[in-house]
């Protein structure tokens, strides 16, 4: 999927269209007919809303007491307010702003989200693992559990008083006063969210495993003949061969982390508790629109988010040529 | 890589080691399920008592002369007639006393009642396995579980029909027709995966609100009839593996393009179509954000995920009910997964193979 994205495609020219035979035109008509559900859906549910939200972001548009205010063009006002919004940038004396909260959590969650599935996939791919198929299925299974249920299960496990994790910690001799207060403690709430997210590992694990299984065996044989050790084989054979899959997951994780907000919405009721530490950027955006019904400011925030994700994605695609290896790609 | 020489003891030891480590990891990974089942069967009392067992239990009772009497752990050497016995035993207390109490041994009814020189206050009561099934009935009644099930099933089925209908057509269009601009459009389709939801959510929500769809299922079901990137991609990848000769043979016989889809492509694609079906049923069943924004004003239309999220507020102090509700919410996706494991696991591989 990504190989194509990074290479780009050629757009049809008008000349090419004129030169088409009637058979070709018929083919085009039928093809467009078949993809028309998506084409129409894309225009109605994606393209027009994108334009509309860009338009909204230059207006003053909100709902007060259930009544839509008459839209007023305000130019860049929303963007200027946003760039000075203390909730986003400077935060308060206790917590950083929403943008920095998102970044901070992302830096904790990203390595886990990338290396946990990779580690599990390597384990599943090990020739020394008996019953690999059953293990794969079992590690994947929690992925299909409803998100809210999974949060409640882990929330129970991490309950400071009655949860099994603190019970185990106390069983290992940790005194009652020093066990973590998990979701209620500013210093522990991000690790709590990371733990609550590990059940989603199954999907990435299977994608990475498919990548590992696609590595031709003769490459391993050749490395063995050359006398490469386990680490050298991983660095010079396994990793380059699965780098497209790692790249794919990396991009998806980063895009997901920028938009992270459902867990704090459910766990801490979207209030930002404890001490404002969970007022993620996207949660603030959600509240701006759904709680305070400010459509124009919400749209401006959505565009800032979009812009930041684009920058990071473009940057990642730029780095790809240094570390992502596409087998069979012709390099010119 | 797969060949293991069993005669090599080092290799056998490594197999044993790797498998054991993985098994331990798996047990830790899945332990919240045990937590959920155990907690959902506990009483509120047991949860609040420090040092109570982790499995559902209540202090032991014994039926004696038609009455329920409490069972205590008694050091036997304090009792008349067994001064040499240094063990402890669970005895039914017939008469409570602070200096001495009268007991009955449920394991030794012949012995009859006897007195031990113990204060009942100083004794512990053993725990007895006792699941509290009524937690489930309580949750069932409080949240109107059958209606939630119906709402969720309704959403899952209708949106799955939408996805199968639209994504099959679109994937067929992308995999079997050559026309200028096709690859560009496919790229646009893939690019929608990267679009942050909130860029489109605000205008879309506002639009649905204007036409009076907020509070109904329509904003969640109607868009599924217009395809989505993941499922189109998965189906297109699969359709491309079906040899074109089959299409051409059918075309020779005068079949229309739609006819080819219906009688050549679809019958060949059951594994992929089933994968899309199970994925989408689980997706719809678990969907939280969509129903949250479009249905929060209409309690009667709530699916299980939204109703469950309110438990945090309602049952914050009653973890046994939260866990019972969570179990009732995850049962159906779990059963579906058990039945169709293969399609889940293979479906991922289909999407994952192409980078």
Name the H helices within B217-318: 218-221, 229-240, 244-252, 257-260, 266-268, 270-286, 289-295, 304-309, 311-314
Residue of B53, B169, B173, B198 for testing the chain A interface, max A β-carbons within 10 Å: B198
Does residue B53 sit at the A interface (CB-CB below 8 Å)?
Answer: no
Chain A residues within an 8 Å CB radius of B178: 24, 27, 31
Region A304-322 average pLDDT: 93
Residue A64: pLDDT above 90? no
pLDDT at A328: 58
Whole-angstrom CA distances from A260 to A97, A250, B308 are 15, 15, 20
DSSP state letter for A216: -
Q: Which residue has the tokens 């506990």?
A: B42
Region A239-248 average pLDDT: 91
Residue of A3, A33, A37 for testing the chain B interface, max B β-carbons within 10 Å: A37
Q: Which of A127, A262, A298 sits opposite B2 (nearest CB)?
A: A127
Residue A259: pLDDT above 90? yes
Chain A residues within an 8 Å CB radius of B22: 123, 129, 135
Chain B residues within an 8 Å CB radius of A140: 344-345, 348
pLDDT digits (tens, 9 = 90+) for A159-216: 998 899 999 999 999 998 889 999 999 999 999 999 999 999 998 999 899 889 888 8
pLDDT at B354: 42
pLDDT at A263: 94
Contact A129 B15 (CB under 8 A): yes
pLDDT at A265: 93
Hey, what are B195's tokens? 């679009």
Chain A residues within an 8 Å CB radius of B305: 146-148
Contact B198 A244 (CB under 8 A): no
| Closest chain A C-alpha to B245 CA, distance in angstroms | 17
What residue of B is the nearest CA neighbor of A63? Answer: B206
**Measured between alpha carbons, how far apart are the two ends of chain A, in Å?**
21
The answer to whether A205 and A140 have CB atoms below 8 angstroms apart is yes
pLDDT at A332: 40
- Superfamily grouping for domain A88-323: MetI-like (1.10.3720.10)
Instruction: Give A2's pLDDT tier (boundaries 50, 70, 90).
Output: low
Chain A residues within an 8 Å CB radius of B25: 123
A271 phi, psi to nearest 5 deg: -90, -10
Mean per-residue pLDDT pooled into runs of 10, chain B (355 residues): 60 92 96 96 86 85 83 86 84 84 85 85 83 92 91 95 97 94 93 90 93 94 95 91 91 92 93 91 93 93 92 84 94 92 73 43
Contact A34 B172 (CB under 8 A): yes
pLDDT at B113: 86
Residue A331: pLDDT above 50? no
Structural domain boundaries in chain A: 88-323
Contact B173 A167 (CB under 8 A): no
Chain B residues within an 8 Å CB radius of A203: 348
Chain A residues within an 8 Å CB radius of B198: 259, 282, 285-286, 289, 298, 301-302, 305
Q: Which of B179, B188, B330 sits opposite A31 (nearest CB)?
A: B179
Chain A residues within an 8 Å CB radius of B340: none
Q: Which of A38, A144, A146 sits opposite B305 (nearest CB)?
A: A146
Chain A residues within an 8 Å CB radius of B33: 153
pLDDT digits (tens, 9 = 90+) for A198-209: 999 998 999 899
pLDDT digits (tens, 9 = 90+) for A271-294: 888 989 999 999 999 999 998 899
Q: Which residue has the tokens 């939408």?
A: B162
The answer to whether A266 and A252 have CB atoms below 8 angstroms apart is no
A177: helix, strand or coil: helix
Instruction: Give A20's pLDDT tier (boundaries 50, 70, 90).
Output: confident
pLDDT at B353: 40
pLDDT at B142: 85
Q: Which of A37, A290, A306 sits opposite B169 (nearest CB)?
A: A37
pLDDT at B312: 81
Does residue B259 sit at the A interface (CB-CB below 8 Å)?
Answer: no
Contact B282 A144 (CB under 8 A): yes
What residue of A is the nearest CA neighbor of B220? Answer: A45
Contact A147 B286 (CB under 8 A): yes
pLDDT at A152: 94
Residue of B183, B200, B202 for testing the chain A interface, max A β-carbons within 10 Å: B202
pLDDT digits (tens, 9 = 90+) for A119-153: 999 999 999 999 999 999 999 999 999 999 999 99
Other Cβ atoms within 10 Å of B85 Cβ, number: 13
pLDDT at A8: 55
Which among B153, B156, B12 is positioned nearest to A130, based on CA atoms? B12
pLDDT at A3: 57
Contact B204 A49 (CB under 8 A): yes
Complex-level ipTM: 0.89
Q: Which residues 166-205 of B are in CB contact (within 8 Å) with A?
A: 166, 169-170, 172-174, 176-205
Q: What is the mean pLDDT of chain A?
A: 90
Other Cβ atoms within 10 Å of B72 Cβ, number: 24
Chain B residues within an 8 Å CB radius of A135: 22, 26
DSSP state string for A51-93:
HHHHHHTTEE-BEETTEEPPPEE-TTHHHHHHHH-TTTTT--S
């Amino acid at each position: 999927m990504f190989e194509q994205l990074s290479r780009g495609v050629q757009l049809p020219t008008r000349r090419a269209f004129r030169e088409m035979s009637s058979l070709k035109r018929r083919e085009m008509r039928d093809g467009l007919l078949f993809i028309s559900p998506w084409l129409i859906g894309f225009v109605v549910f994606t393209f027009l809303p994108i334009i509309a939200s860009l338009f909204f972001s230059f207006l003053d548009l909100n709902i007060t007491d259930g009544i839509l205010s008459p839209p007023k063009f305000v130019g860049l006002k929303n963007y200027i307010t946003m760039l000075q919004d203390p909730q986003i940038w400077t935060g308060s004396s206790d917590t950083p702003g929403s943008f920095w909260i998102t970044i901070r959590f992302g830096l904790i969650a990203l390595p886990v989200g990338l290396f946990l599935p990779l580690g599990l996939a390597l384990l599943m791919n090990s020739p020394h693992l008996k019953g690999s198929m059953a293990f794969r299925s079992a590690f994947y299974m929690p992925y299909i559990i409803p998100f809210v249920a999974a949060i409640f299960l882990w929330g129970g496990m991490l309950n400071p008083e009655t949860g099994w994790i603190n019970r185990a910690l106390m069983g290992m001799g940790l005194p009652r006063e020093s066990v973590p207060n998990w979701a209620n403690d500013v210093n522990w709430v991000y690790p709590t969210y990371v733990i609550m997210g590990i059940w989603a590992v199954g999907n990435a694990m299977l994608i990475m495993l498919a990548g590992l299984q696609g590595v031709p065996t003769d490459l391993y044989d050749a490395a063995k003949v050359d006398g490469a050790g386990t680490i050298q084989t991983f660095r010079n054979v396994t990793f380059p061969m699965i780098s497209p899959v790692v790249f794919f997951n990396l991009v998806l994780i980063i895009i997901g982390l920028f938009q992270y907000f459902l867990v704090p919405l459910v766990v801490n009721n979207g209030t930002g508790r404890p001490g404002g530490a969970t007022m993620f950027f996207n949660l603030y955006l959600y509240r701006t629109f759904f709680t305070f019904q400010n459509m124009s400011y919400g749209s401006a925030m959505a565009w800032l988010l979009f812009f930041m994700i684009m920058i990071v994605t473009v940057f990642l695609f730029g780095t790809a040529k240094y570390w992502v290896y596409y087998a069979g790609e012709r390099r010119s | 890589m797969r060949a293991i020489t069993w005669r090599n003891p080092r290799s056998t030891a490594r197999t044993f080691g790797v498998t054991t480590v993985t098994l331990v990891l798996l047990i830790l990974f899945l332990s919240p399920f045990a937590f959920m089942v155990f907690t959902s069967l506990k009483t509120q009392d047991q949860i609040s008592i420090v040092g109570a067992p982790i499995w559902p239990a209540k202090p032991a009772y014994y039926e004696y002369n038609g009455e329920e009497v409490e069972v205590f752990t008694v050091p036997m050497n304090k009792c008349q007639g067994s001064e040499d016995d240094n063990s402890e035993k669970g005895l039914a207390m017939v008469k409570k006393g602070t200096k001495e109490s009268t007991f009955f041994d449920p394991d030794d009814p012949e012995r009859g009642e006897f007195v031990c020189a113990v204060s009942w206050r100083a004794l512990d009561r053993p725990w007895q396995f006792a699941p509290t099934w009524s937690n489930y009935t309580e949750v069932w009644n409080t949240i109107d579980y059958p209606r939630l099930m119906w709402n969720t099933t309704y959403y899952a089925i209708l949106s799955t029909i939408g996805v199968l209908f639209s994504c099959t057509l679109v994937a067929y269009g992308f995999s079997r027709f050559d026309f200028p601009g096709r690859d560009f459009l496919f790229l646009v389709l893939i690019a929608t995966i990267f679009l942050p939801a909130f860029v489109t959510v605000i205008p879309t929500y506002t639009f649905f609100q204007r036409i009076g769809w907020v509070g109904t299922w329509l904003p969640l079901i109607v868009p599924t009839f217009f395809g989505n990137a993941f499922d189109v991609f998965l189906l297109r990848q699969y359709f491309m593996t079906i040899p074109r000769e089959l299409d051409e043979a059918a075309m020779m016989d005068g079949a229309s393009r739609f006819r080819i889809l219906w009688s050549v492509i679809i019958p060949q694609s059951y594994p992929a179509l089933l994968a899309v079906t199970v994925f989408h049923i689980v997706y719809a069943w678990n969907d939280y954000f969509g129903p949250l924004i479009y249905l929060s004003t209409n309690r009667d239309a709530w699916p299980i995920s939204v109703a469950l999220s309110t438990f945090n507020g309602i049952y914050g102090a009653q973890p046994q009910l939260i866990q019972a509700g969570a179990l009732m919410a995850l049962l159906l996706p779990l059963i579906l997964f058990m039945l169709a494991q293969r399609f889940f696991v293979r479906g991922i591989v289909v999407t994952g193979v192409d980078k």
